[in-house]
Structures are given as C-alpha cells and as structure tokens.
Amino acid sequence: MTIGFIYVAIAMGLTMVYGVLRILHIAHAGVYALGAYAGLTLYLATGNILAAGAVAIAASITVGYLIQRFVYAPILGRSPLIPLTLSVAVFLLVSEMIGIVWGYYPIGFHTQIPFTTYFYGEISITSYQVLVIVATLSSVLLVWLLVNRTRIGLASRAVAQDSEMAQAIGVNVKTVIAFNFIVGSALAGLGGILVGIYYSQVSPYMGGLVAYKGLVVIVLGGFGSVAGAVLGGLILGISETLLVSAVGNFLPRESFAFLVLILLLLFRPQGLFGRRATDRT
Amino acid sequence: MRPIVLEAYPITLLTIIGTYAIAAIGLNLTMGSAGQVNLGQAAFIGIGAFTSAILTTEYSMPFVVSLLVSGLMAMIGGTILGLISVRLREDFLAITTIGINFVAVSVFQYYPLFGGSFGIGDIPRPSFFGFELSGPSYAGLVYVVLSLCILGALWTRRSWLGLAFKAIKEDEIAALSMRIDVRKFKMIAFAIGAGYGGLAGCLLAHFRTYIVYSDFTFSFSIELLTIVVLGGLGSIAGTTMGTAIVVLFPEVIRPLLQYRLVIYILMLIVLLRFQPEGLLGEKSALSRYLHSIVVRLYRREGAH
Amino acid sequence: MASTKITVAAIAVIIIVVAAVVGGYYATLPKPTAPITASTLTTTVATTAPAGTIKIGFFAPLTGFAAADGYSALHGALLAVSDLNDKGGLMGRQVELVYYDDGLSADQAIAVVTKMIEEDKVSVVISGSYTGTTLAVAPIVEKYQIPMISAYAVHPMITANKTWVFRVGMMGQTEGRAAGYAAVKVFNATKVAILYDDIPFGVTLAENAKLQAEKMGGQVVFYDKFDDSETDFRPWLTKIAAIPDLGALIFLGYYYHANAITQARQLGIKAQIIGAEGFDSPQLIDLAGDAANGVAFVTDLDRDSSSQVTQTFLTSYKAHTGIAADMVGASAYDAVMAAATAINSASSLDPASIRNALGGLTNFQGAAGVILRFTSGHNAVKPMTIQMVKDNKFRFYAAITDPDIITPPS
C-alpha cells in the first residue's frame, strides 16, 4: 500500500510530461533509476540522507531536461510512435549505462534511519513507511501548489489543455515544457531514492517495474489530470496489495494492473477523471 | 569448399531475420497502413508459437496445418483486440495493447496448457515426404512464407482494403462521412497484423524447438516497433530493411563486448533523431535518392 | 505501379545485400577471444586466434538484466582457463575461452552457439546461461555432436534425452530434496512453510522440497509462489508469521529477494529460514544486512571446505575480480575444469572421446564440491552443503551426503 504513494509521485511526473508533449515518457523510469543511484552514491560518500535526496533530485532534473532538449524536442509534430520508440530506447540506454558504471549487481542501500514500528491497535506502521508517505505527500502538495497557485502553473495547465491556444495568448510554451520536465523529473528522482531506501536496494533495471505501471496509473486517472493520477496511483497500490492477499496470484501483479485497466477502459473509456478516450464515431 | 553464406551461422541469422520480418510486416500493415497502434504484437506471435507447439507436440499435427491454424488463432486474437480498440483513442489504445501483451505473457506463464514456467520443448522440425527441414532448408521455408506475406501486403496496399486503410489513417471522420465502415476496417487491420504475427510465431517455435512465456514479452514488441519505425511506417521495403538492421547490427558489433547494447541503442537513437520518418519512410533521404534513380531510369527509357 | 516495383526491387536487393554482408563480413571478422591471463574483464580483441590453441566455447548473458549472473559465470570460466594455462595448458597447448553474450535471448544464443561451433571450431561448449537459452541450444550441440556442459541451469529438460549435454551444477530435483531434508532432518522442523519464485528454478525445487519434507515426516502447512520481480513479501509473510510452531520457512528465491528476509524478521518470524542456490551470493549479505545472520541455504559451494581447489578458487576469484565468489562463478569454473579433465583423460579433441571421458569422470574435485560421478542421464551426483550466515559471512553448517538425496533421478 505504501507503494501506491510512490506510484503517485511517478505518475504525477508522467502526467505533467504527457500534458505538455503528449508523449508517453517511458524514459521517466530511467530518470527514476538514475535518481536512486545518484542519491545512493552521495549517501555512501557523505552519510547525509537529505543531501542524497537533493542530489537524487538534481541528477534526475538534469537528465530529464537533457532528454527533453536533445531527444524529444527535435522530433515533435510527427507520429507519436517515434518519440515512444525513442523513449523506450533512452530508458534501456540509461539502465544499461547504470549497469556499466555501477555494476550489474543490485547494491544495498542501508541508511542510518532507525527502523521502528509504531502500533495503533491493530494497525502497524514502520518508520520507513512514514518517511515514504510524508515525502510523497509533501511533494504532491508542493506540486499541486505550483500547478494551481503560480503563474507558471497556470501557463502549464493552459498548455496541457490546448497548446495552440495557449501560444496564441502569449504563453511561452518552451518555458512551460521545461518547467513540466523539471518538476516531473524531480518527482521521478525523489520516487527513485525513496524506493531505494524503502527496499534497501537498487538495481540497474529497477525502472522496469514502474515504467509500465506508471502508464496504467495515468490512464486510470485520465490523461493529463494530475488529481486523477494521484488517486489512480493510490487505488492501484491499495487494490494490488488487497487482491494479492485475498485472492492470491491468479496472474502476476503487473498484468493484474493491466487487466484492471483493460476492463475499466471497456466500460469507462475516459478513465476515472479524464477527457474522453473515445472518438466521436 | 562450401560457399560461406551457406554456413550455419549466417543461415541462423537469415532465419531470424525472415521470421521477425513476417511479424514486422504484419505490424506495419496495422500501424503504417491503417494507422492503428499495436504495441503488443509479441502477444500474437506468442499465440501462434504456442498454438503450433501444442498442436505438433501434443497432437502430432502436420506442419502445414499447424502453420495455418497458428495464423488463424492469432487472427482471432487480433480481431478481439480490434473489437476492444474501436472505441479507444490513440494513447489509450497504445497502453491497452501493452496491457494485452502483459496479460498474454502472464497467461502463458500461469496455465499448464502452455507449459507454465517451463514452456514447451522438443518441438519438431517440419518434415515433408520424409525430408526434415532444418538449417538452410528451414530458412528456405521461412523465406517462402515471407515472400507470400510480402506479396499479400503489397496486394493489400493496392486493393480496396488498402485504400480504406489509408482513408482511415489520414482522417477517420472524413472516412466515416464517405460511408466507410471504420470499425470493420480497424478490426481487419488488427486481424491481419496479428495473423502475420501468428505465422511468424509458428516459424519461430519450430526454429527454436523450445519456447517459454518469457520469449514473448513486451521487449519483443518494442523490438518490432523499433523495426517498423526505423524502416518507415507504411513502407514494406523499409520494414524489411529495418529487420535486417535490428538483427544484424548487434551481431556485427559483438567485438564491442559489454558496450554492445549501449552502442546499438545509441545508433538507433541517432538514426531516429535524424531521420524520424524512418529510413525508407516518406520523404526520407534514402527513399528520395532511390526515387531519383527510378525517375532517371524511366527518363532514359522514355528517351528512346 | 512504380512504388510496387520499387518495393519488390528494394526487398530483393536488401536480401541479397544481407546475405552478402553476412557471409562476406563473416570471413573477415576478428574473433573475440579471452586474453590468456584473466585479470579483470578486458576489452582487447585479438586479431587472429593464436595457432594451435584449444578452444572452449562459452555463452552467458552479458547485457541486460541477467548480466550480473552472466559476469559471475564468465569470471569463473576465465579464471579456470587462466589456471589451466598457468599450469602449461592442455596436452601441451594453450587454452582459449571463446565467449559470447547471449543477451538472455534464445535467438541470440542459437546464433552464437552455431557460430562458435562452426566458425570458431570449439571443442566443447559451456553454458553460463539460464535454462531458456541453454535449452534452445541443446538441439544444436546434439546435431553437431559437440559436448556441452551446463554450469548452473537447473531445469531437468536440459539433460533429458540428450547424448551430448552434461550438467555439473545441482539439479532442481536434488536441490529441492536437499532443502526438504534440511528443514525436517537438520533443523528438526515438524511444520514447514514453502514460498517459491515462480520460475523453473523455484517451481522444481518447491515440488521436490515438499515431497521430501513429507517423506521424512514433516508437514507442509504453507505452499505458495511469488513473481520473480516481487519486492514486497509481506502479504505472504504475515500469513506465515501467524502459523504457530512453524519450524522452517523454505524460501526458494534469489539474493535480490533479500527483502523477504528483512521483512520476515520485522514480522517476527522465528522459524528457520532455509534458502537454496539463489541465496548463494555475497549480495545476499550486502542487501539483507544483519537480518541475514542465521539464514541457512543449500548449495554446493562450501566456503569452509577443506578442499584446496575450493579455497584456492575463492581466494583467486576475489583477488581477480574484487568480489567474493558465488555458486554461479564456481559452477562455471568447474564446468571448464571438468571439460579440461575430460580432454586430458581422453588425450584427444575428438568430441566423442571427450564425451565418453566426461561420462566416466569420478571423484572430480571441483571448486563447488566433489562430483562423485555422472548419472547415465549426465547429471552430476554431488554432495551438497548447508551454509549458514554467521557474523555476516557464509559458514559451513552441515553436509548432505545421503545418496537418496543427492542422486539425480534417471
């Protein structure tokens, strides 16, 4: 269930990128993994978890921005399959480079954060879970404030709704794109380091687990709707855990998410909150 | 001395190229000609592969029957996908097809009919009149099927089917207004593409002689997507070329050892970045060059 | 229509070009070879193979997510070749490891094994890869009649009905039995829980562990599987924690499932955790930290072994690679050494002679334990060891030598 919060952070970032560029940014998972590794490296060097978190975010912002500038920007405006293919290629590239630089074995991520369990009657919650929940909630709140209470956030929402119109009324679309990527990638990096700490390990292909689930979440929440992404992530996280304990594995977890998605789309093609998914035909 | 090309290693590569090309050409029909996204082609290849594996190992069916049934089963799967997809817009469709891939792989993994985690082995090579096909002869079979598939794709493109696809791809609403039954044609596009995938799956199963659920994951679909995009959406020659590149390039750069995958991906990124329409896509440098050659040839003929 | 003609012509040209490129390129391609001394993995490529060397072929996943195991195996194999050459080589000639990356893809594995047999003309093929790829290439070595030794893949089908394939590692059935035996006989558990990874490794071991545990009078009170990519085992562990008087939890996963151990401890599970070869990696301790202490697992690499071969291997591997050795590396080492021993005892490179010599090997002192002999199905009969984590190190806990347990079924 705690994992739902991580999906939320990742999905928010994905949604923001999708909102401005209409690209399914699978490379987001590569940014996430790199954030985790950057954070781990700094933690091993300094022992300071906050600095590690900051570096994780900084590294992912840099990589995310580079991807946007050098990979996506030049090829916009054509069939969306091209950026999708490139995005997957970049994700594989980042994962493989992590393997080459840091080694292919998973690396342990043990922090000095004391592991304690708090009990409230039947419910128990560990200090690690608290960390994840607090970190994700505060970042979600921060992003929500950014998007809904600042000028650039307003511009961002305008571009997400209708980029041509936004441009016509003077919005600097390039700045908005950069903004969305920076915020989105920061969320990915944060998610990465949190996952590393929570599970006490990182591995080069760790992004693989979230890459495709992230997609499910943004569809569940409706493309482009940040609120929907948040709710979608939580619902997915909770239902996965619940169903696994209740029914057992009649299908592996990943496909379970997709199965839910397919069924949902059959009956409600616009996702939970989003715009219409159907053609008007 | 035998000519080098007939030695087993190049033959193996040619066989792999041939089977992948069949699946890719099918995918190209769905995506390039009819404009429908299918990111789960590997699922249909898997359906074809497992169908043939089960038929030939459990029921000792003759190869040709098995090949046709594999294609048919995959086509049925594709039709179902088509049914689901008619109501979905592009990005939702993309993700749904990814989902179908994941779900199919999981079904292959969890249900004993498909060998579960173990997969199905000892898949027999086809025999005709007592002669067992393997190595060069099996490659020959693959290329016969590939040629038929290419002819089929060419014919489709030129036929009314192809025209309908083109209309839908360009502008669905306009197509509707011309009373084209968009739903039906979308389903056909998926069905044909999937059917090709099924044929490829059968050929792959008999080539590898052992298949398991993890052979048909989303990564395989991505490989096929890369092939089609690299070659140029809609271009059959481009798809063939893309297959050759995607299979051969990583082989050729083996001396690069652990950097092999990274270099390969970088090459893809660079190629796509600078030629996003694909190598033989519309208005690509290469296709314009080829076109100019053809034009010159025609002009020379006309001069006589 | 012009575009159709262009298409057809283009395709024909492409196919011809492809064939020519592949064939022609092939003739000039420098073969990647391992340097004769194997320090760390280097990227040098010799331009021509030194004349008169004996070539041993090797394939493993060196890219992609399985690269960790692939490299372990490669390091083990390179170390073996280096040791052989330091002692003068084989039959007076130097040994060369011709290795390729299979990217854990059946198609690539087929391609490279075909290549190494036909072009590089290797005398033996060693598989440092997983079940899927090894199975895909088995028909090739059968067809070309070249012996293949699988280092660590556990699937029974690899050696079943084959004449040329051997296995030096533990087999799924025997390892599973050993785990069941360990739970009931060594750790005296009456109630046993089994949680396994849903891949051939886990499935085979789980089935056999259950059979053996029940055969020895234990009761399997929990039996369930998880997906290989799982990171959160609490849904299962909570149920397991609720079982009263649970003696043992047989966990059939890998070192990267180390979370299961930490989570089990957090949930207060007191039962003895017993793993299998998947736990045999220094990563286990690195990832699980202190929680790993007390965890036992069944394997064939005994860190406290009195065998000189094992101890030299362990020191050497660590010195060359900087990482402590694991079962995968040791198995690959043994696969190469077994091939070398067979070649020496056959005094010939004739494939059939090598195969017969392999079949007749007895009391082979390997790094990963002693291979008493091979069964008629070409599986190794070898005693296993139970290792336990103490003070963050793997230590010997008990040996498993009962022939009923360690002999693979025929």
The pLDDT of residue A73: 85
Does the interface predicted TM-score (ipTM) exceed 0.95? no
Nearest CA in chain C to A106: C256
Contacts of B237 in chain C (CB under 8 A): 6-7, 10-11, 14
Question: How far apart (Å, rounded) are the C-alpha atoms in residues A58 and C401?
Answer: 56
pLDDT given for residue B281 in this prediction: 80
Give A4's contacts (C-beta < 8 A, 6+ positions apart). Answer: A233, A234, A235, A236, A237, A238
Q: Measured between CA atoms, how close is C182 to chain A, in angstroms?
A: 28
Residues in B closer than 8 angstroms to C62, CB to CB, are: 257-258
Q: CA dihedral defined by A144, A145, A149, A153, rounded to 10 degrees?
A: -50
Say if residues C120 and C98 touch (Cβ distance below 8 Å). Answer: yes
CA–CA distance, C16 with C3 (Å, rounded to integer): 20
| pLDDT at residue A223, rounded to an integer | 64
Kindly give, in sequence order, each residue whose CB lies less than 8 Å from that of residue C374, ignoring residues fewer than 6 positions away.
C166, C358, C359, C361, C380, C381
pLDDT at position C41 is 36
Interface check for C11 against chain B (CB to CB < 8 A): the answer is yes
Specify the CATH number of the domain B4-279. Answer: 1.10.3470
Contact B237 C20 (CB under 8 A): no
Q: How far is C259 from chain A (nearest CA, A)?
A: 7
Q: What per-residue string of b and e applies to B25-57 under the rule 16 or more CB within 10 Å gives b?
A: bbbbbbbbbbbbbbbbbbbbbbbbbbbbbbbbb
Determine the distance in angstroms separating the CA of A260 from the nearest CA of chain B, rounded to an integer.
Answer: 9
> Does residue C34 register a pLDDT over 50?
no
Q: How confident is the model at residue A163 (pLDDT cuts 50, 70, 90)?
A: confident
Alpha-helix runs per DSSP H in C29-127:
67-86, 106-118
Which among A110, A200, A245 has the least Cβ separation from residue C259?
A: A200
| pLDDT tens digits for range C352-391 | 999 999 999 999 999 999 999 999 999 999 999 999 999 9
Residues in CB range of C114: below 8 A, 6 or more apart: B8, B9, B12, C140
Domain ranges of chain B: 4-279
Q: Which of C11, C14, C135 sits opposite B121 (nearest CB)?
A: C135
* Of B196, B165, B221, B161, the residue nearest B72 (C-alpha): B196
Nearest-angstrom CA–CA distance, B158 and A147 = 50
Output the tens digit of pLDDT for each of chain B's 304 residues.
344 456 788 889 999 999 999 999 999 999 888 888 899 999 999 999 999 999 999 898 889 999 999 999 999 999 999 888 877 777 788 888 998 999 999 899 888 888 887 888 888 888 887 778 878 889 999 999 999 999 999 998 888 888 888 888 887 777 778 777 888 888 999 999 999 999 999 999 999 989 999 899 998 999 999 999 999 888 898 999 999 999 999 888 888 777 888 889 998 888 888 888 888 887 788 888 888 888 888 887 665 4
Length of chain C: 410
Question: At C191, which helix (H) or strand (E)?
Answer: strand C191-197
A8-47 residues touching B, CB cutoff 8 A: 18, 22, 24
Give the pair of three-digit tokens for residue B52. Answer: 């043939």
Interface list for B 92-111 with C (CB within 8 A):
109
Contact assignment for B89 to A277 by CB distance below 8 Å: yes
- pTM of the model as a whole: 0.86
Q: Are C259 and A3 in contact (CB < 8 Å)?
A: no
Instruction: Give the lowest-confidence range in A144-148, C246-250, C318-322.
Output: A144-148
Mean pLDDT value across chain A: 81
Model confidence pLDDT, tens digit, residues B152-209: 999 988 888 888 888 888 877 777 787 778 888 889 999 999 999 999 999 999 999 8
If you average pLDDT over residues A25-36, what whole number do you get? 93
Calpha distance B204→B226 (Å, rounded):
19
**A108 pLDDT above the threshold of 90:** no
Beta bridge partners of B190: none
DSSP 3-state assignment of C385?
Answer: strand
Q: Using CB atoms within 10 Å of the CB of residue A90, give its burial: 0 to 12 exposed, 13 to 18 middle, 19+ buried.
A: buried
- Cα–Cα dist B134/A108, whole Å: 48
Q: Which amino acid is it at A256?
A: F
Q: Which residues pair with C50 in a beta bridge?
A: none
pLDDT one-digit tens code per residue, C206-239: 999 999 999 999 999 999 988 887 888 888 999 9
Alpha-carbon gap, residue C110 to C123, rounded angstroms: 17
Q: Of A12, A40, A253, which is closest to residue A139 (Cα–Cα)?
A: A12
What's phi and psi for C60, nearest 5 deg?
-165, 160
Q: How confident is the model at residue C67 (pLDDT cuts 50, 70, 90)?
A: confident
Instruction: Give Dmax over CA atoms of chain A in angstroms.
Output: 59
Q: How far is residue A265's CA from residue A277's CA, in Å, rounded to a whole number?
A: 9
User: pLDDT, tens digit, for every residue of B230-258?
Assistant: 998 888 989 999 999 999 998 888 887 77
pLDDT surpassing 60 at residue A279: no
On chain C, the residues whose CB falls within 8 A of the CB of B116 are 203
The shortest C-alpha distance from A243 to chain C (Å) reads 10
Q: Which burial class, exposed, middle or buried, applies to C398 when counting CB atoms under 10 A from its CB (0-12, 13-18, 19+)?
A: middle
The answer to whether A114 faces chain C, any CB pair under 8 Å, is no
Residue C249 φ/ψ, nearest 5 degrees: -115, 110
Measured from the Cβ of residue C161, the count of other Cβ atoms closer than 10 Å reads 11
| B235 at C interface, C-beta within 8 A | yes
Q: Report the DSSP pairing between strands C393-400 and C384-390.
A: antiparallel
CB contact under 8 A, A281 and B98: no
pLDDT of residue A258: 83
Backbone φ, ψ for residue C193 (5° rounding) = -110, 140
Q: Is residue A160 within 8 Å of A184, Cβ to Cβ? A: no
